Chain A
Amino acid sequence: MSTTPNSDLLVQEPQIEQPLYTPIKRRSFFMYAGATAGATALVLAGCSKSDSSPGTVNVGSGDAGVLNYAYALEQLEAAFYTQLRTGSYYTGSTITAAEKSILDDLYYHEVIHRDFFRAAISAAGATPIKALTPNFSAIDFSSRTSVLGAAKAFEDLGVAAYNGAGQYITSPTYLYIAGKIVSVEARHAAIIRDLNADNTFVGNDIITLTSGSNSSVATNNSPANSSLERSMSPSEVVAIANNYLADGSKLDASSLR
């Protein structure tokens, strides 16, 4: 299984080790630099190494980059629900049976997603990013409002992130797997939003109802009154996710584009 467009090129033309730096006949170059693979490699070539800030975790580029990006977000969610289950709202007496069972399932699902990505990235011959250190100091784990509010933020963010990153995946297999996960995240998001306030499973804050999308997702085409999810670009997602990550674990997804 190839992990990046560049590795595809190497498989097909093993004698060419540095396709971007080796002058070759243009016809043969464009023959194998097919479709978006060539374009992506060229765009990446335009990035100098200094694009990554020191102390951040760069998820990388290509399909492996998208997988690591997803792995990072699943790590965040899994860590949140793990900590939630030790907090006094969850362990206390006011939580309802329905809420407890829902939060249990979300914990199971997100841990499974996290561990799935770590295994899948390794299986693809790529390197998983490190285990991230979260910073949940802004969340009061004794407060229903705080806990469910944070859960809503994480679930909605996950849906918007997967939808916005789908276009960067080149392998149908990984796109399909991302689709299998994002609909579960959307199911989570809907019930968590309903626990926050009934009948908020959809709303103009997350889908294009009364206003169109203002996201910087390159391929977004969501006018008002279209009821499309407001997907988000990796940079928009990371700006939010980094609020919940400790220094040294903050994400850099600038190579995903």
Chain B
Amino acid sequence: MNFFQIISEIEKVDPEVYDRLDSRRSVFKHMSGLGQKLSAAALPLAVGAIFNKVYAQTPVGAGVNDVLNFALKLEYLESYFYNSRGTVTGLSTQNTAALALIATDEANHVTFLRSVLGANAIAAPATTGVFDYTAKGTFPTALTSGATYLAIAQAFEDTGVRAYKGAAPLVMANKTVLTAALNIHSVEARHASHIRAMRRAGATSTTPAQGVAVSPYTSAPKSWISGNDGGGPVPGTTDAIYGAGNNTNAPTGITFDSEANTTQGGVALSGTTITAGAAFPSSAFSEAFDEGLDVGTVAKIANLFSVSGNYFG
């Protein structure tokens, strides 16, 4: 990386580069301020960032706040759910401890998203009267039975993973927001994996990582989503969490397929296209890729737990 070479290259095609940079954005003033704080090793990154700012044509921020506020609503749904775990019985000590870890993460995500949104953040929902974890009576033991509680937790985490994934292309013009969203997305996936392990071994198990999955993965799921997971933890109610989304307003080149999808980027994954794949179980080809969901479908799922029925829009 040679900084002067860059400027020289720009000058060849844009003789007025210095004027442009100086008069329009005062970029060199900006740069000299930065330079005092940056090591030589960090300079290339800083230069790239500055030029991205100067030359970017995509409006940054359009719609991003809406996406982040929607994510914030989902984090509140999760955070209040984990904060309500005190009434749940039938969990091993290990599993109780795991839920405390997850509760901390979700509360941290709420705080972080609020800090990113600043004055644009939605008002915090009331801790009572906004969310109904029984889903209007569908899960009467939501906050009392360990098994039911973990089933709902899995539903929330898997939905969260799909929601962040589907939203990533919507915020990609803002690299800072994108990286933060990805960094939350993978943490939700870690949670989902652990909750699935807890369900696999049983709510009272003291060795939650040692459970063995059984087909069709409703009561003893794998740590990853296998096909459509037989409709999820509560088939008939949670099917939409593993189903296809709505492609009406999907970004170009993106489709919200069901979790059973086995064609990725035009590449069909099967025993004949994958090395030694003939010996793989057919479930592996869908398990290897998670799928995203559009905001509308996520809202529909989350609204099952909204007292008003439309908190998520």
Count residues on chain B whose CB falls below 8 Å from chain A CBs.
101
**B122 beta carbon closer than 8 Å to chain A:** no
**B235 beta carbon closer than 8 Å to chain A:** no
Instruction: Assess A229 versus B187: contact at CB under 8 Å? Given A20-B9, A108-B280, A115-B275.
Output: yes
Q: Which B residues touch A257, using CB under 8 A?
A: 44-45, 48
For residue A71, give the distance in angstroms from its CB to the closest CB of chain B. Answer: 13
**B276 beta carbon closer than 8 Å to chain A:** yes
Instruction: Assess A26 versus B224: contact at CB under 8 Å? Given A112-B288, A116-B264.
Output: no
Cβ contact within 8 Å between A198 and B111: no
Q: Which residue in chain A gives the minimum CB-CB distance to B284? A: A108
**A22 beta carbon closer than 8 Å to chain B:** yes
**Cα separation A99 to B223 with both chains bound (whole Å):** 12
For residue B6, give the distance in angstroms from its CB to the closest CB of chain A. Answer: 4
Q: Which A residues touch B137, using CB under 8 A?
A: none
Cβ contact within 8 Å between B212 and A97: yes
**Cα separation A162 to B168 with both chains bound (whole Å):** 13
Cβ contact within 8 Å between A164 and B290: no
**Cα separation A115 to B9 with both chains bound (whole Å):** 38
**B254 beta carbon closer than 8 Å to chain A:** yes
Count residues on chain A whose CB falls below 8 Å from chain B CBs.
92
For residue B83, give the distance in angstroms from its CB to the closest CB of chain A. Answer: 15
**Cα separation A114 to B242 with both chains bound (whole Å):** 25
Which of B49-57, B123-131, B139-147, B296-304 lies on the face that meets chain A? B49-57
**Cα separation A102 to B211 with both chains bound (whole Å):** 10
Cβ contact within 8 Å between B55 and A30: yes
Which of B12-20, B29-37, B62-70, B305-313 lies on the face that meets chain A? B12-20
For residue A184, give the distance in angstroms from its CB to the closest CB of chain B. Answer: 6
Q: Which A residues touch B5, using CB under 8 A?
A: 45-46, 48
Do most interface residues of chain B lie in helix, strand or loop, or is the interface mixed?
helix
**Cα separation A217 to B254 with both chains bound (whole Å):** 26
The listed residue (B48, B101, B187, B281) touching A43 by CB distance below 8 A is: B48
Cβ contact within 8 Å between A108 and B189: no
**A250 beta carbon closer than 8 Å to chain B:** no
Cβ contact within 8 Å between B254 and A226: no
Q: Which B residues touch A24, using CB under 8 A?
A: 13
Q: Which B residues touch A138, using CB under 8 A?
A: none
Cβ contact within 8 Å between B165 and A21: no
**Cα separation A242 to B54 with both chains bound (whole Å):** 35
**Cα separation A199 to B15 with both chains bound (whole Å):** 59
**Cα separation A220 to B183 with both chains bound (whole Å):** 9
Provide a sorted-by-A list of 13 A–B residue pairs whose CB atoms are within 8 angstroms: A22-B13, A26-B15, A26-B16, A39-B51, A98-B211, A166-B182, A172-B252, A181-B289, A186-B186, A188-B223, A217-B179, A218-B45, A218-B49
Residue numbers of A with Cβ under 8 A of B are 19-24, 26, 29-30, 33-36, 38-40, 42-43, 45-48, 51, 96-99, 101-102, 105, 108-109, 111-116, 119-120, 123, 159, 162-164, 166-167, 169, 171-177, 179-191, 194-195, 198-199, 201-202, 207, 209, 216-223, 225-231, 257
